[in-house]
Amino acid sequence: MYAGTGRWGSPDSDMESDAGFEVRKRRVPAADTLYHAVGHRRVPCLEDVMKERGTHRPALGRARIALLALTSALATASGSSKTAPRCTGPEFRQFDFWKGDWDAYDIADTTTIVGRGRVTPILGGCVLREVYQQNDGLEGESYNLWDAKRRLWHQSWVTNRGDLLLLDGLFEDNRMTLIAREAKPGGGLSLLRGVWWVEGANVREKADRSTDGGKTWTPVFDMVFRPHGVGSPAGAVVERGQVTLSMARESP
């Protein structure tokens, strides 16, 4: 980066040399010049700016100084943004109980592993990424974050079956509750609600659907996630897999 500073010639001399530049003063600028003289100030004319080689051009000099100042300010701001802590408030940590490597079981049969999921923090701890793989071939990922502007938790869930769910909600009473709006096949909207909470060393996830605006809810699935490799109380063998948990793990 250029860091030098220019010097202007004395008003009493016709020409001075400074760091290899020739500084020229025009006592009487021509009438057809672009700029006019103001007192003893050397104001550039058109040929100063466009034509004369080796001439120190005040207009360009000021532009360079302004550009250097702007560049320095941007560099300082960039450095500050890299070092400033982000996502450090307590709200950002409310879903941290979900982090981990999990084996998934249907609550109706806790002896059989139905999938595996991994939930890991990414992007400087601002986002929880979920990668989920179910034994029936369903694969999905979700991205979860505290949206500080809206004061809400958000989850975006996508699958290898073309599903997309956008859920919003809050962490209250030690439970994370997120709700998505779904388009019903015959028109209108339904609601899909997911709830996550801690049960000892495990995490429970339950989903319900409402077709009457939230007045009544019908179960969609109910799962428990145990740390990978621990197995069920009956000693079920852990199957191979990759990935994490999320929303809408329905079989077709």
pTM: 0.61
Rounded to whole angstroms, how far apart are CA atoms 181 and 209? 10
Task: Answer yes or no: are the C-beta atoms of 191 and 178 closer than 8 Å.
Answer: no
H helix runs in the chain, sequence order:
46-50, 58-83
* Among 153, 191, 157, residue whose Cα is nearest residue 175: 153
Average pLDDT, stretch 103-127?
95
35-78 per-position pLDDT tens digit:
444 444 454 444 444 444 444 445 555 556 656 666 665 665 55
Rounded to whole angstroms, how far apart are CA atoms 75 and 185? 53
DSSP string computed for 180-246: EEEE-TTSSEEEEEEEEEEETTEEEEEEEEESSTTSS-EEEEEEEEEETTS--TT-PPPPP------
| The two structure tokens encoding residue 191 | 């609601």
Rounded to whole angstroms, how far apart are CA atoms 195 and 199? 13
In this model, does residue 1 exceed pLDDT 50?
A: no
Rounded to whole angstroms, how far apart are CA atoms 58 and 49? 8
Rounded to whole angstroms, how far apart are CA atoms 248 and 221? 8
pLDDT score for 245: 36
Pick the CATH number of 90-227 from 2.40.128.20, 3.40.1190.20, 3.40.50.620, 1.10.4160.10: 2.40.128.20
Task: Answer yes or no: are the C-beta atoms of 150 and 143 closer than 8 Å.
Answer: no
pLDDT score for 153: 98
* Among 132, 157, 154, residue whose Cα is nearest residue 144: 154
Rounded to whole angstroms, how far apart are CA atoms 118 and 52? 68
Q: Which residues contact 217 (CB under 8 A, 6 or more apart)?
A: 193, 208, 209, 210
Average pLDDT, stretch 20-37?
46
- Per-domain residue ranges for the chain? 15-83, 90-227
* C-alpha separations of 4 from 19, 64, 73 in Å: 10, 10, 17
Average pLDDT, stretch 154-168?
96
Amino acid at 19: A
